A and B are shown apart, each in its own frame.
Chain A
């Protein structure tokens, strides 16, 4: 298991254990994290699992695909340099301890 920390817009931090191979979105939703919706189920179709990757971690993620970049134009909360869709972040040992900040709104 690897650790994933989610910090909501109010600053509340939750750390969860994630099975490697799961997406950060799946892990957050199944842990009942309210600030991640993941409406489309992980197909990069809805932009409701938007996160800001902590600057210390952003560079360690694989580059986003074109479909994800297009969808990041559709987020309800402001898109920033560290914006990603958490359904496209596949958790593995190299991301143990990853920190994601949640936007104010997803819908």
Chain B
């Protein structure tokens, strides 16, 4: 963003004339930009202004602006909900578990990068991108079918080793594993593209010199590839952490059933159920819960950005 210094220097009358001249000269640009600004105002800024219902007792008959202020009542109500700690823990633990699989994309990229069988590698890569284009609904229905006790592929497979068929979707202890590893199955190949191309940009001279010095592949990975990948890794890690508690909501919602609800209820699904899916929607309460999550998220991204900046000198800002 370039600072505009000219306004301050010129006298006021002249400045007005300049505005008129500029608007006339670039009139079409202002008309163009008015459309996206309208979108921003209606779909981004109006909802931001509407966040105030979290501090109000929203009544549909009164509308957002006319409703009564109630301060932090709904935040307190959420903190006092018997399920509060359960829901918070589910949200955090599912996402932390997901975060643990973050290095797999890097490992996959390194494996792809070193294997000399190029045609085989290309096939693996191409197949590995495909699941990324499967929709959430189809992905979850595949999960439901594969882990079905009576007809599921997974049970058919474990049956070959003499294991008994299990209804995995009804087991609370299996939920986190199924959720996280199905995510890996779907996103690993596609997520590694960025690392693979970063690896392709590593200067070949470094590798040649290392080979001359007798470095093994493991040593080259450790001393050449990983340091070169560090900026990419830190940025992706910050971005991942920034949306951390908000990811996977649409998938979790579809994977929920009465048997796994004790481990699968997260803040976002709770918000949805208290408001849009409820017979008596509690809009203010749900908005407060949503805002609570957004604030935690913002704190996490600031914290992670600070830490990575301190450790690696890479940051978003």
Q: Do A and B come from one complex?
A: no
* A residues in contact (CB < 8 Å) with B: none
